[in-house]
Each structure stands twice: as structure tokens, then as C-alpha cells.
Structure 1
């Protein structure tokens, strides 16, 4: 075979190999090797003081089969999603990795196990994205809230509050976890804008149908009237 022909045949094969490596390195559906443990001093459903800011509500997510993470936390952006880190589960979630009662007891006795995982879409059938006003909020001087029931695989990377009368908007701070905060919040009914970002860098602003009422109160929940599906 002529050298030039061998080169022409080798070039596509090399390109295909490099393309395969690149796809493998960025594969969002690939399994990642990690480890999992559980809270040894917690009750069956974990604790009320997680770093994502969900409080006792976190124990109700997915029927109590929940986990906390370290690097996945990503200053709160990763609350509820996946990445390279170890998982700290509730006793209930940890034991449910065993297919039988005896297997569950064996897992609890081990304390730490090797796992493989990948990020999947969250699903909250018949639920819209919901705003829970944090107990530390102080109307009308300080507003903090968490965002519940976010479907799909995208991250909320920015949140704005806008006055519904003059449409002046204020970018909120992420104080910790999934808690968004602002001092001197806008007055009147408030329109929320959430920036959703995917793993490819694409960004989309989502505007809820329902507004946060003018007389919002600490501890209250407000249905946004919208849901994301990707």
C-alpha cells in the first residue's frame, strides 16, 4: 500500500479515536465511581440542618431516600444534582441500596461502600416550582427563600426579583445552599425570574406565572405556576 494511502486511512481512524475520547470525557450519562456513607448519629431520615437549606423538608424529598454531598454542593448550585464526590445518606436511603432486609443490615454494618452513580432528571409529578420563604426573613427589610420541586437536569444559577409595576429588577445573592437572599427587597407584588443553565452552557430565563404577594410572610410557600421539563 502506498504511504499516502495509508496516511489517508489512518487519519479518519485517529480522528474517530480522539472524538471517542472527547465524548467519553464529557459524557453526562456515564457512571462515576465514588463512595457512600450514612449519618451514624441521625434518625432514619437524616438531620434537619443540611447545608442546602431545605431544613426538615429535605427528609420528605423522594420519600426520604436522600443524600448530602460535598463537592457536588458547588456553593449550592449542585444541591439536588450529581458530580465527583462521596455521598452522605440518611440511614433509610443507605439501607435501601440493599435488595433484602439482610443485605440492608450488612450495608449498615459496613458503614462505607463503593458505588457508581450518574445524574438523572428530577421528577415531581403534578407539582410546580414552589418558593418557601425562609423563617429568617423579616418583612419588608430582608427576604430569603428556597426553591422547591425543580424538575429536570438543569441548575438554577441566578435569580432576580422584579417590581411588577415599573419592572425594576434586583439580582439576588445565594447565601448558602439553595437559599436566595436580598436586603431591601423591591416593594409590591414581586415577579421572579430564574436562570436555568445546562451542562452545555446553554442558559434560559424562566418567568413564573404567579407573583410573590406584596405581603409575603416568613414560613409561607408560594406556587410559581410553572415547571421545567428538561
Structure 2
């Protein structure tokens, strides 16, 4: 009976560590190599070059947190659980890709993985390959306004694909719509993949766009409308400043 009590106590202790007042969740993390230690421009979120350097290259691919692309752009604090090797604060990373490892939720860039370690202990931490971690969602903070990038696959004026960049706060972008003035209605854009939203035969003229932002934890919903956020002569590959910040 004493053994069962001890076992049950350990279960409660682990639960308290993984789901305590700081709302950390237990998981595992690994890393992927790249020549420059940054992210990848071919990530599943569709960020392109932005996905390499955002957050100083401290980025991550995720598995179940990807949520069919809704998790793209989310920021997390990740810290590992080896007292002799791991720093107390760990690393702060932004989701730019999808990936699956050995029962891992995070596949960090090498720069992000190195930040898990105490000073001088990064090489030892890399030798583990996979480490136990705990993580929590945190707000993203940028000095930039929200940018709307016209994806390179867009073809003026017949096909428009948009990628939101520098999404601040703790919100997810779940929907994007364009105002169709002749019909006097909002036309939903399709989530093509990751955080890329597209529409064939978009309206002519400066585009009025609105986003549906959701906080997953408490189901808070917020619609934000941006008038003339994209000009009538939009071009593929160009980023347009919305002058809007969501924090």
C-alpha cells in the first residue's frame, strides 16, 4: 500500500511541475541543422525568408501545435530539464514550420536549441539530440507593424495569396476575408497552407481586408478591419505595411 501511495504522490508531483501555476506543459524537443544556424525559407508556414531570420533565427517547427497552420507565428518559451546543462529561462521561439521527431513537440533551429543551455554547456546539450522540456505560450513582441506580404505565387490580377507577418500578441489568425463592394459582402479567403490565405479573381481597387484573431486559451475572438491595406496595383513578393499592431 505504501508503494502505491508513493507512486500516486509522484504522479501528483509531476503534474504540479508540468501544469503548475506558470502553465508550463511537459514535452520533448530536438533540433535541426542548417549551415547558418537559422531557420529555413521553405517552412510549411509559407513565411519564406522571414522564417529564417525572425526572432534572430530562434525559430521552431512543431507537430501538434501546428494546428493545420493556425499555430504559425505563435511564440513559446521553451526550457529543458537537465539542471547541470539547462538555463532557467531557456529560449523564446516563434513557429515557422511543421515537423515531427521522436515524440517531440518542438524541432528547434540550432540557434534556438543552443539558447536552452547554460553558458558553455551548449555542446554537451547538443550531444543529447533529444531533451525533455517544458513550454508555455507567450505573447510575440515586435517593433514592426503587421505586414501583409503578397506571396510569390500570386498572379496579378487573377490570383492573390497573402501571408501575414509580424503577428504580435498571443492571438491566432483563423480567418481572412476581403470586401466585395459590388456584392456588398465579405468574401472568405481560403487557407491554402500554413498561414498563406488565397483567393482567385480578387476584387479590383485597393483591398479592404479583415482578420479574425482568436485566443485559443479563452476563446476570445476579435475582428480587425484594415481599409486599403493592399493597393490596387499590388505586386507579388511585396510587403505592405498595415500601420496596425496587435499586442
Fold shared by both chains (TM-score > 0.5): yes
Counterpart in the other structure of 1:45? 38
Verify: 1:60 aligned to 2:79, yes or no.
Answer: no
Q: RMSD between aligned alpha carbons?
A: 2.5
Displacement of 1:154 in angstroms is: 1.3
Give me the whole-angstrom Cα distance separating, in 1, the residues matched to 2:135 and 2:202: 40
TM-score by length of 1: 0.81
Q: Find runs of 4+ consecutive structure 1 residues off by over 2 angstroms.
A: 25-29, 40-43, 80-85, 163-169, 208-211
Counterpart in the other structure of 2:74? 81
Cα pair 1:156 1:197 within 8 Å, conserved: yes
Q: Which ranges in structure 2 are unaligned for 5 or more consecutive residues?
A: 1-17, 77-102
Moved more, 128-137 or 35-44: 35-44
Displacement of 1:90 in angstroms is: 0.8
Which has more strand, going by share of residues?
A: 2
Counterpart in the other structure of 2:192? 175
Give me the whole-angstrom Cα distance separating, in 1, the residues matched to 2:46 and 2:131: 27
Residue of 149, 152, 160 corresponding to 2:177? 160
Counterpart in the other structure of 1:188? 205
TM-score by length of 2: 0.76
Displacement of 1:54 in angstroms is: 0.7
Give me the whole-angstrom Cα distance separating, in 2, the residues matched to 1:194 and 1:167: 17
The number of residues matched between the two structures is 204
Counterpart in the other structure of 1:100? 119
Which has more helix, going by share of residues?
A: 1
Counterparts in 2 of 1:79-228, with a 5 A limit? Answer: 79-81=72-74, 86-101=105-120, 103-125=121-143, 127-163=144-180, 167-198=184-215, 199-208=217-226, 210-228=228-246
Give me the whole-angstrom Cα distance separating, in 1, the residues matched to 2:20 and 2:154: 41
